[in-house]
Chain A
């Protein structure tokens, strides 16, 4: 075993010369312990301590950097982003609610205005029709009054005319009787004859 030979044959001051052996014709000088070219590098146990030390240093440094700097920072970034997202979503939700409320209020006032406008239109229509009704009624009353007045006049004239008919008939009858008999009938007989006549209308 070449690596066991090293500490025995070469004391530590000469360590460098064992790493790159000067005369090893069949290998290419990278064999750390020299002499045996057929060794399988991962199983060369004389390199283990060195590798473990460097591994511990490198991995220790990595662990320190990750646990103290990198991961807290990334976690903070992710936390801040999710906070930001949820607060932004909340804000958007709030704004949407406000917009909905404003929309509802607008609808409401629109409905009220429509109702008001309809009310005004209805009132105006009612007032106008009432006024027209009143005028029409007044006109009708006046017309009825005039009609009644002219009716009364007509009736008075008719009565008057009918009264005249009796005296005319009496005079005519007395004249006819005088011409026929040569003697005028007395007024009483004439009245009796006139009364016997049926009323002619």
Chain B
């Protein structure tokens, strides 16, 4: 019973295959890695297998894949303009990866990969490195224009430029922490409220109150599904917005 009480227990990594150590780092194929590859498999199923017929009149799964594609293509187009299309595979992959991992985490007893900060930080790092590397490769030193807002009086730049630099540096942190914290907090809240039901049921007369946390758990579950989809969308949209900086450094 001790396992189910602990709301943190669900986030523990469980090595399926141990691969030894490097320094103090423990290498193992964990359930987290398994979920990642499962997500890749599901996405491939949805976007590759379901579209293999190349039907002009799509079936359900192909229509879903097309809808997701058009949704992300629209988002990228709105944020970056016509020349942002080269980043569509990146934004689409990020969106689908985060979305499927979030949704997989909603299955009871399943593991939420995105509840680990290092994973979301890794994804955010991919975004920021893409922005910096592409921006510098394409615009050279002109990429530094990202930190200089246009149309601002010279004296104000003394204040604005440091703010812009801090804002730029905090992007990977906010991007990763937002997703990680949402998923982590949601799963902890769900676990706690669900456990209230059990605690009230075994507490004799207090059992009559157990429908209250049950209703709350149901509502929270619905909310978590919303959060799972919304955070994937936020991640993709912010990625597109940051990539727009790499394409057009002068604000």
Contacts and interface: CB of A to CB of B under 8 A. Distances in A.
A146 to B, nearest CB: 95
Contacts of A78: 66, 69-70
Contacts of A50: 19, 25-28, 30, 33
B12 A15 contact: no
A61 B229 CA distance: 22
Interface in B70-98: 70, 88-90, 92-93, 96-97
Contact of B21 (A7, A62, A76): A7
A49 B27 contact: yes
Interface string B128-144: 00000000000000000
Given A42-B118, A54-B29, A74-B65, A7 B93 contact: no
Contacts of A42: 11, 115-118, 180, 184
A47 B116 CA distance: 10
B167 interface: no
Interface string A34-49: 0000001111101111
A152 to B, nearest CB: 104
Interface stretch (A24-32, A112-120, A136-144, A168-176): A24-32
A55 B18 CA distance: 17
A12 B24 contact: no
B119 interface: yes
A74 B89 CA distance: 12
A53 B22 CA distance: 13
Nearest to A50: B27
A66 B33 contact: no
Interface centre among A16, A18, A58, A78 (most CB of B within 10 A): A58
B44 A43 contact: no
Interface residues of B, number: 59
B28 A32 contact: yes
B123 A81 contact: no
A23 to B, nearest CB: 17
A163 to B, nearest CB: 120
A68 to B, nearest CB: 9
Contact of A58 (B8, B37, B65, B70): B37
B92 A65 contact: no
A6 B116 contact: no
Nearest to B101: A58
Interface stretch (B46-54, B145-153, B155-163, B201-209): B46-54
Contacts of B90: 63, 67
A54 B69 contact: no
Contacts of A3: 24, 26
Contacts of A76: 54
A59 B48 contact: no
B51 A70 contact: yes
Contacts of B28: 19, 32, 50
B14 interface: yes
A77 interface: yes
Contacts of B97: 58-59, 62
B122 A6 contact: no
A188 interface: no
Given A51-B118, A75-B69, A78-B69, A6 B48 contact: no
Interface of B: 2-3, 8-9, 11-15, 18-30, 32-33, 36-37, 39-40, 43-44, 47-48, 51, 54-56, 58, 62, 65-66, 69-70, 88-90, 92-93, 96-97, 115-119, 122-123, 126, 180, 184
Interface of A: 3-4, 6-7, 12, 15-16, 18-19, 28, 30-33, 40-44, 46-56, 58-59, 61-63, 65-67, 69-71, 73-78, 80-81, 84
- Top 9 closest A-B pairs, CB basis? A67-B89, A54-B33, A58-B36, A70-B47, A49-B25, A41-B11, A15-B20, A74-B69, A48-B118
23 contacts: A6-B26, A7-B21, A7-B23, A18-B26, A19-B15, A33-B26, A41-B12, A41-B116, A42-B117, A46-B25, A49-B27, A50-B28, A50-B33, A51-B116, A51-B122, A58-B97, A59-B122, A62-B40, A66-B89, A66-B92, A71-B47, A71-B92, A80-B54
